[in-house]
Amino acid sequence: MKSAVITFPGSNCDRDMAVAIEKISGHAPARVWHGDTSLSENYDLIAVPGGFSYGDYLRSGAMAARSPIMQSVVKAAENGTAILGVCNGFQILTEALLLPGALMRNSGIDFVCREVPLIVENDNSQFTSAYEKGEEIIIPVAHHDGNYFASESELDQLEGEGRVAFRYVENVNGSARNIAGILSAKGNVLGMMPHPERHVEELQGGTDGARLFESLIKTLLETAG
């Protein structure tokens, strides 16, 4: 399995993401710089990590979405490559129009950094098949702009198509309908504010995030094989 992690100026979870992918898959992902104009290989998975790309100037993720490498990421997504965006990565994916809606300033105006319970809403995607629908899991969050917003029609469409992947048990940031993560229409793009890469081994305080990577890697290997 070939994977890549994109790094932008201000990324601070790119190494965490790379370590998590390598731990679960056994293969170290390529590290791709935002200024590269193309992807060197056809990757099975591209991860867009958390952090504060470009210092969150203008809007969180807005500048990163226009980095040279993102044209290739968008094209890869359109061709069916699995794309995982976490925290700032979720913000970047909405700004790149790979996912609907936007991430706004937390309703409480505070930076939220703690473990939070989530409900698994979709267990039928390549990212979530190792979970059970309705299961409660614990994943850390760390964000200031995680308040998910979309129009009512967009929200209804996400709900109707089963594209809400995760929902907060308690609303920690003001997100519409407690949404913590969503899938693209084709199901190959997942954006989520909580950090699954921070809960892949017991030393981190929990392993609920590991199953997201296990789901994805199992699906990708089965597809390739």
User: Which tokens belong to 132?
Assistant: 């059970």
Q: How many domains does the chain have?
A: 1
| Structure confidence by residue, pLDDT tens digits, 157-181 | 999 999 999 999 999 999 999 999 9
pLDDT at position 105 is 93
Instruction: Give the model's confidence band at 121: pLDDT under 50 very low, under 70 low, under 90 confident, else very high.
Output: very high
199 classed as catalytic? no
Mean pLDDT of 53-59: 87
Indicate the helix (H) or strand (E) that contains 156: helix 152-160
CATH number at residue 53: 3.40.50.880
Q: Which entry of 13, 87, 121, 143 is annotated as an active-site residue? A: 87
Q: Which entry of 13, 34, 143, 197 is annotated as an active-site residue? A: 197
Q: What is the pTM of this model?
A: 0.96
Residue 110, pLDDT above cutoff 90: no
Query: How does DSSP classify residue 162?
Result: T
Give the start-end residues of each E strand in the chain: 3-7, 30-33, 45-48, 82-86, 102-104, 112-120, 136-143, 147-149, 164-168, 179-183, 189-192
In angstroms, the CA 218 to CA 93 distance is 24
Q: Which entry of 34, 143, 195, 199 is annotated as an active-site residue? A: 195
22 classed as catalytic? no
pLDDT at position 78 is 97
pLDDT at position 113 is 95
User: Where in the sequence is the domain holding 35, given as residue range(s)?
Assistant: 3-224
